[in-house]
């Protein structure tokens, strides 16, 4: 891991950009912490870190204000990382289907999401390996938001992640509903009730499928990007209960 920039933002937030095996990432830590703090991994949609930066920073500020470190890495095929032909093709197929008003087929969803999960999850785990060696970061680790299938896979395979806040706002391959049954960590699932990108019933079915004994569904009005500010506060309450 190589830090490529460092700046102190107001609110006592130290922001450091890094690269790890040519994957760009950002780490936010409290400037004031006197002991190692728990870490929240900030997931995001595959739109590139630059595009997502304002929203990621807002979530990082919330996290740091509650005494957490927050970190994110670029997804494969996004941002400054090399294009990825297979996923580009699936995205084009998705756009075409949506534009034509056709239902988005299982094949398109699988082609869009499954390769991303396969490639991204080990990268997030590798990032975790390195981040947890930093003296200012302790544990435990939470995962928050982003592509829900990546969150599901991480929750199943990565024992250092002890709680996850998921956003039921993206296409979910059928096979992930099976995988969801193997999730046992506490979950806080956000659902936008009128999400134009999302099948509400599928999201409710997915919530039902999760094997976790403690899981909360928090549904709010509005579309995909209309998550109200107080939903972020509720999510912080969830992470505070499980990581502090």
| Residues contributing to the site for a copy of itself (CB under 8 A) | 191, 193, 204, 207-208, 212-221, 228, 230-231, 233-234, 237-238, 241
Q: In whole angstroms, how close is the CB of 186 to a copy of itself at the nearest point?
A: 10
Q: In whole angstroms, how close is the CB of 150 to a copy of itself at the nearest point?
A: 23
DSSP-assigned letters across all residues of 15-53: EEEEEETTEEEEEEEETT-SS-EEEEEEE--SS-HHHHH
Three-class SS of residue 212? coil
Query: CB-wise, 34 or 201, nearer to a copy of itself?
Result: 201
Contact 80, 24 (CB under 8 A): yes
Query: CB-wise, 153 or 215, nearer to a copy of itself?
Result: 215
Q: In whole angstroms, how close is the CB of 231 to a copy of itself at the nearest point?
A: 8
Q: In whole angstroms, how close is the CB of 234 to a copy of itself at the nearest point?
A: 6
Q: In whole angstroms, how close is the CB of 43 to a copy of itself at the nearest point?
A: 22
Alpha-helical runs (H) found in the chain = 49-65, 85-99, 106-131, 148-157, 174-180, 200-209, 229-243
**Contact residues for 24 (Cβ-Cβ < 8 A; gap 6+):** 17, 18, 49, 73, 74, 79, 80, 81
Smallest CA-to-CA distance from 142 within 226, 19, 237, 224 is with 237
Query: CB-wise, 19 or 240, nearer to a copy of itself?
Result: 240
Query: CB-wise, 76 or 145, nearer to a copy of itself?
Result: 145
């Amino acid at each position: 891991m190589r830090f490529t920039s460092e700046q102190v933002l107001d609110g006592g937030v130290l922001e450091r950009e890094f690269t790890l095996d040519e994957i760009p990432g950002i780490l936010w830590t409290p400037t004031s912490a006197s002991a190692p703090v728990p870490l929240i991994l900030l997931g995001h949609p595959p739109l590139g870190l630059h595009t997502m930066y304002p929203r990621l920073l807002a979530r990082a500020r919330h996290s740091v204000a509650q005494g957490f470190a927050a970190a994110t890495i670029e997804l494969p095929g996004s941002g400054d990382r090399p294009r990825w032909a297979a996923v580009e093709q699936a995205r084009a197929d998705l756009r075409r289907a949506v534009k034509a008003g056709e239902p988005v087929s299982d094949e398109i969803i699988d082609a869009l999401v499954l390769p991303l999960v396969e490639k991204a999850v080990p990268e997030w785990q590798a990032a975790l390996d390195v981040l947890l060696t930093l003296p200012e970061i302790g544990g435990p680790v939470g995962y928050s938001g982003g592509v829900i299938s990546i969150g599901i896979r991480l929750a199943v395979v990565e024992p250092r992640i002890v709680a996850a806040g998921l956003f039921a706002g993206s296409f979910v391959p059928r096979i992930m509903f099976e995988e969801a049954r193997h999730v046992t960590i506490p979950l806080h699932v956000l659902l936008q009730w009128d999400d134009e990108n999302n099948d509400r019933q599928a999201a409710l079915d997915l919530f039902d499928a999760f094997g976790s004994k403690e899981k909360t569904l928090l549904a709010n009005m509005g579309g995909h990007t209309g998550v109200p500010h107080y939903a972020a506060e509720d999510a912080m309450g969830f992470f505070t209960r499980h990581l502090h």
